[in-house]
């Protein structure tokens, strides 16, 4: 049995609580948050011990194997380092940090402590994304001309106003670091490293410090071109999230309000029966097992098998490196 604790009990902590409960060989031992009222609200859904200080939790609960860091992003580094130095394995919510220096500090603490650490990029586990990854590995689209990632979402002013850290550069980041980070991770995971970035980034609609809209042109080391469009300014509702790939032998678009459905798929390297079967499988179960549960399960196995987690802290650093490159090149606010 692997014993888990969660530090930071905002909305995202509920996904970790559910994922741990559904994972064989995992048990939630403790919750930690500086807000006692928030902890009290969780009493109805868990029997875990409650703490308002992580150091006190570590001292009182020596059985803890893994700590899930679910605080505002600007706090990830200090808490992750503290947990690693205490010999605890880590699952860190996205983004791993808001700066490269903090990411490097986490990576160093993990290496020197000999613990395992994963970053929560759960969209890799979506059934359609796994099929897209497989198709790319089998070169079913041939040489790629270009790819794209689109995030057209609504986060209204009330969303940002619900907590003073939201939308700040120090604690939260903007649309790229907070919302589109998942899609940038997918671009890197699916298509490899980015060699060049040209972008325009601005704060157009929301009253926040960080950007609320960004567009970027990328060139991957493979030679493929890419585009990114990310916004939280879309009126009224989430409109679209998609990943598209276009190559010499075909194309695919995985999209919808969330990128869970195959909207287009054509490949001269696949039979029509293969394509139709793939699409039917995705339509039958577009969500699959929760990505958070997959990450929890993978951590349990990684500890047992003495290997690195599937989504590493180095992966987390590469995603924020791309965010920083886009913002640094293009911010005009």
Residue 14 has pLDDT above 60, yes or no: yes
pLDDT, tens digit, 9 for 90 and up, residues 75-116: 999 999 999 999 999 999 999 999 999 999 999 999 999 999
pLDDT at res. 187: 98
How many angstroms separate the Cα of 105 from the Cα of each of 136, 173, 231? 33, 19, 30
Kindly tell me the sign of the dihedral angle through the C-alpha atoms of 102, 107, 113, 119. Answer: positive
Locate CATH 3.40.50.720 in the chain. Answer: 2-122+291-309
Residue 166 φ then ψ, to 5°: -65, 135
Instruction: Find the mean pLDDT for residues 296-317.
Output: 98
Structure-model confidence comparison of residues 311 and 46, the more confident one: 311
pLDDT at res. 194: 98
pLDDT at res. 45: 84
Residue 49 has pLDDT above 60, yes or no: yes
Residue 333 has pLDDT above 90, yes or no: no
Q: Is 273 left (phi over 0), alpha (psi -120 to 50) or beta?
A: alpha
pLDDT at res. 331: 74
H or E segment to which residue 145 belongs: strand 144-152
pLDDT, tens digit, 9 for 90 and up, residues 119-171: 999 999 999 999 999 999 999 999 999 999 999 999 999 999 999 999 999 99
Mean pLDDT taken over the chain? 97
What's the CATH superfamily of 125-289+320-330? Dihydrodipicolinate Reductase; domain 2 (3.30.360.10)
Share of the chain above pLDDT 70, in %: 99
Q: How far apart are CA 1 and CA 265, in angstroms?
A: 42
Q: Is the peptide bond before 95 cis (omega within 30 degrees of 0)?
A: yes
Count, residues in the chain:
333
Locate CATH 3.30.360.10 in the chain. Answer: 125-289+320-330
pLDDT, tens digit, 9 for 90 and up, residues 238-259: 999 999 999 999 999 999 999 9
Pick one of 3.20.10.10, 3.40.50.720, 1.10.3720.10, 2.40.10.10 as the CATH number of 2-122+291-309.
3.40.50.720
Residue 31 φ then ψ, to 5°: -125, 145
Q: How far apart are CA 173 and CA 80, in angstroms?
A: 19
pLDDT at res. 332: 66
């Amino acid at each position: 049995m692997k014993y888990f604790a969660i530090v930071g009990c905002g909305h995202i902590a509920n996904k970790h609580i559910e994922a741990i409960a559904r994972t064989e060989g995992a048990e939630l031992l403790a919750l930690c948050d500086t807000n006692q009222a928030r902890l009290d609200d969780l009493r109805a859904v868990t029997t875990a011990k409650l703490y308002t200080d992580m150091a006190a939790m570590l001292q009182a609960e020596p059985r803890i194997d893994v700590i899930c860091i679910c605080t505002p992003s600007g706090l990830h580094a200090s808490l992750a380092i503290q947990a690693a130095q205490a010999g605890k394995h880590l699952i860190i919510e996205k983004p791993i940090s808001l700066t490269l220096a903090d990411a490097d500090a986490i990576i160093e603490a993990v290496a020197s402590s000999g613990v395992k650490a994963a970053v929560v990029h759960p969209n890799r586990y979506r059934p359609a994304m796994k099929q897209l990854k497989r198709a790319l590995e089998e070169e079913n689209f041939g040489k790629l001309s270009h790819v794209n990632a689109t995030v057209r979402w609504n986060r209204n002013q009330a969303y940002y106003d619900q907590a003073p850290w939201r939308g700040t550069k120090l604690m939260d980041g903007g649309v790229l670091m907070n919302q589109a980070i998942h899609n940038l991770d997918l671009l890197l995971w699916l298509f490899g490293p980015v060699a060049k970035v040209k972008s325009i980034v601005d704060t157009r609609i929301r009253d926040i410090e960080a950007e609320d809209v960004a567009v970027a042109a990328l060139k991957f080391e493979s030679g493929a071109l890419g585009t990114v469009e990310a916004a939280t300014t879309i009126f009224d509702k989430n409109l679209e999230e998609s990943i598209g790939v276009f190559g010499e032998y075909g194309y695919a678009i995985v999209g919808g309000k969330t990128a869970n459905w195959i909207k287009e798929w054509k490949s001269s390297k696949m039979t029509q029966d293969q394509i139709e079967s793939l699409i039917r499988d995705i339509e039958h179960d577009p969500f699959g097992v929760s990505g958070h549960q997959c990450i929890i399960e993978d951590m349990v196995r990684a500890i047992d098998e003495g290997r690195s987690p599937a989504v590493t802290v180095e992966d987390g650093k590469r995603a924020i490196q791309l965010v920083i490159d886009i913002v640094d090149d293009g911010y005009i606010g």
